[in-house]
Amino acid sequence: MKPVKVLILIGSDSDAPVMSGALQVLEELGVPAEMTVASAHRSPSRVERLVSEAPDRGVQVFIAAAGAAAHLGGVIAARTTRPVIGVPIDSSPLAGFDALLSTVQMPPGIPVATVSVGKAGATNAAVLAAQIVALSDRAVAAALVAYKEKLAAKVEDAARRVEGSGTGAT
């Protein structure tokens, strides 16, 4: 098994299109990551095995993404002392509100750091995971500075476009 610093578990392969965004961001930031499917409800022993093998692989942070009655983050957090970031997926008729509450409302002592619902959450989970990795990795820390500079540059571009179109107030 190849070493990874961030392990992304998704509750279903139907979550993959949303969570592939997290993998892309982690790749851009130079963080070795892997994504696989493991369901807290349908394959609890697979979740348990992946979490117990993770320290030997170098995993520092878990990202858990699931929709509906989303327990994946909490189940992972119950089995590890490493940080767990939860992404509520908007895959149910309740558009992720159910997954948001299931993921964020952990009882005291077993935190799941819950980010935004859906695609924005996938990006934010990756950036937050990289920020944790960056505490002991200067290359990732530098990549994060460059990432933020790129975001700011996009705003500058957008501002110039809006001002140039004549619709921007100055």
Does 39 sit near ligand RP5 (CB under 6 A)?
yes
CA distance 108 to 106: 6
Q: Residues in contact with ligand RP5, total (CB under 6 A)?
A: 10
CA distance 45 to 112: 20
Judged by beta carbon, residue 19 or residue 134, the one nearer ligand RP5 is 19
Judged by beta carbon, residue 75 or residue 129, the one nearer ligand RP5 is 75
Q: Per CB under 6 A, which region of 8-16, 23-31, 43-51, 52-60 contacts ligand RP5? A: 8-16
Does 12 sit near ligand RP5 (CB under 6 A)?
yes
Query: How far out from the chain centre does Cα 39 lie?
Result: 16
Considering only 54, 87, 89, 132, the residue that binds ligand RP5 (CB under 6 A) is: 89
CA distance 8 to 63: 5
Does 14 sit near ligand RP5 (CB under 6 A)?
yes
3-state DSSP assignment of residue 23 = helix
3-state DSSP assignment of residue 86 = strand
Torsion angle, alpha carbons of 103, 56, 132, 14, to 10 = -40
Window 58 to 77, contacts with ligand RP5 (CB under 6 A):
66-68
Beta strand 6-10 with 61-67: parallel, antiparallel or unpaired?
A: parallel
Q: Per CB under 6 A, which region of 7-15, 54-62, 107-115, 153-161 contacts ligand RP5? A: 7-15
Q: Can you give the binding site for ligand RP5, defined by CB under 6 A?
A: 11-12, 14-15, 39, 66-68, 89, 91
